[in-house]
């Protein structure tokens, strides 16, 4: 057997950093801006070392002015630069919601096609680290509500490495949500750099009995559930949405056409959520393929609590996904 080329193991954090470094190297117009991205090395150490390599003009520390520096990113993008703006957490991004919605997502249409905004905004999302209710929420579904934005949720090392460049190549604003629990996950990137698409969902585990549809931080939850289900002779297919807006409807319908059952796993709250949108689309587009009611496993509808046992109780767990999947397969058409 011929030896395969050595594939380096790296963390999700390393993968994001490698993507940032490559983007900064290949295009002078690219710069990174955000709170503590420079001297501190990034709140989650993602940009460690980039200040030394690219200097303070391109690795730009900002004051705590989310609306100000996100808006500045939009302005710089309009003026021909390719800014990457980092917001520490999705909860903080609410301070910049005016700029993201009223300007980044809106200017192209409102100007009759004159002002596209080639901006990338990265931010951390999600719970699981006992950071309580102002640092732990999953609000990417809110952003997925907004026409004019592309919303990405890299759940794998390959996507963390590969999604940034196509996001920068996109003429319109792209938001990348990095689940905070993923930064230390170790894996490989198949072909080293791995260009990926930012349009389609991906099947992470094929199956025939039920589709578990998820994204981001709960991909691991879904895969763990699928493993347990396999031991119970239920072949679950795990679909990673990857792109939360625009949703890859065709991939969802394809999967349901194979399995006829769906469990949606979403760390966001259930009411008025991304999980609700996915469920609605399945009902609209694949109603006659469904052999069982759609199940949803979401975060409990509470502000995320601090205590570990409470936080874990509030989050989607593999056992709840298994139970939901078993309910769907217990229903026979």
| Alpha-carbon gap, residue 263 to 35, rounded angstroms | 37
Q: Which is the catalytic residue, given 35, 86, 135, 295?
A: 135
Residue 17 CB: number of other CB atoms within 10 A?
22
Q: How distant is the alpha carbon of residue 145 from its chain centre?
A: 14
- Tokens 């021909």, residue? 80
What minimum distance in Å lies between the beta carbon of 122 and another protein? 17
The minimum distance between CB 54 and another protein, in angstroms, equals 12
Q: CB-hemisphere CA count at 13 Å for 40?
A: 15
Interface with another protein by CB under 8 A: which residues? Answer: 31, 57-58, 62-63, 65, 67-83, 98-99, 102-103, 107-116, 118, 147-148, 150, 169, 171-172
Least CB distance to another protein at residue 98 (A)? 6
Complex with another protein: residue 104 or 127, whichever CB lies closer: 104
How far is 24 from 32, CA to CA, in rounded Å?
A: 8
Q: By C-beta, is 5 or 113 nearer to another protein?
A: 113
β-strand partners of 240: 202, 214
DSSP label of 301 = S
**C-beta of 93 vs 99, nearer to another protein:** 99
C-alpha 151/C-alpha 241 separation (Å) is 11
Question: CB 114 → another protein: shortest distance, Å?
Answer: 4
**Nearest Cα residue to 123 out of 112, 114, 136:** 136
179 is catalytic: no
Given the complex with another protein, which of 100 and 131 has the nearer CB atom?
100
In the annotation, is 66 catalytic?
yes
Residues serving a catalytic function are 66, 135
């Amino acid at each position: 057997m011929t030896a395969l080329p050595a594939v380096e193991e790296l963390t999700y954090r390393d993968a994001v950093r490698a993507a940032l470094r490559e983007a900064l190297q290949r295009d002078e117009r690219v710069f990174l801006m955000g709170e503590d991205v420079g001297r501190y090395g990034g709140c989650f150490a993602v940009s460690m070392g980039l200040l030394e390599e690219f200097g303070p003009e391109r690795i730009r520390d900002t004051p705590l002015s989310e609306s100000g520096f996100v808006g500045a990113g939009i302005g710089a993008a309009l003026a021909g630069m390719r800014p990457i703006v980092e917001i520490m957490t999705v909860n903080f991004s609410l301070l910049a919601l005016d700029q993201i919605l009223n300007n980044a997502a809106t200017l192209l249409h409102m100007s009759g096609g004159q002002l596209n905004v080639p901006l990338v905004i990265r931010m951390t999302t999600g719970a699981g680290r006992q950071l309580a209710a102002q640092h732990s929420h999953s609000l990417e579904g809110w952003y997925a509500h907004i026409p004019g934005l592309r919303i990405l949720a890299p759940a794998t090392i390959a996507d963390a490495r590969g999604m940034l460049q196509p996001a920068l190549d996109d003429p319109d604003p792209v938001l990348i949500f990095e689940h905070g629990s993923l930064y230390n996950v170790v894996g490989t990137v198949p072909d080293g750099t791995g260009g990926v698409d930012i349009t389609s969902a991906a099947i992470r585990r094929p199956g025939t009995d039920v589709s578990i549809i998820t994204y981001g931080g709960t991909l691991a939850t879904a895969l763990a559930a699928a493993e347990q289900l396999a031991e119970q002779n239920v072949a679950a297919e795990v679909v990673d949405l990857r792109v939360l807006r625009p949703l890859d409807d065709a991939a969802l319908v394809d999967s349901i056409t194979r399995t006829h059952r769906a469990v949606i796993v979403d760390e966001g709250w259930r009411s008025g959520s991304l999980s609700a949108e996915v469920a609605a689309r399945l009902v609209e587009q694949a109603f006659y393929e469904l052999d069982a009611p759609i199940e949803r496993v979401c975060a409990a509808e509470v502000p995320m609590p601090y205590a570990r046992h409470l936080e874990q109780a509030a989050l989607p767990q593999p056992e709840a996904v298994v139970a939901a999947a078993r309910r769907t397969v217990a229903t026979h058409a």
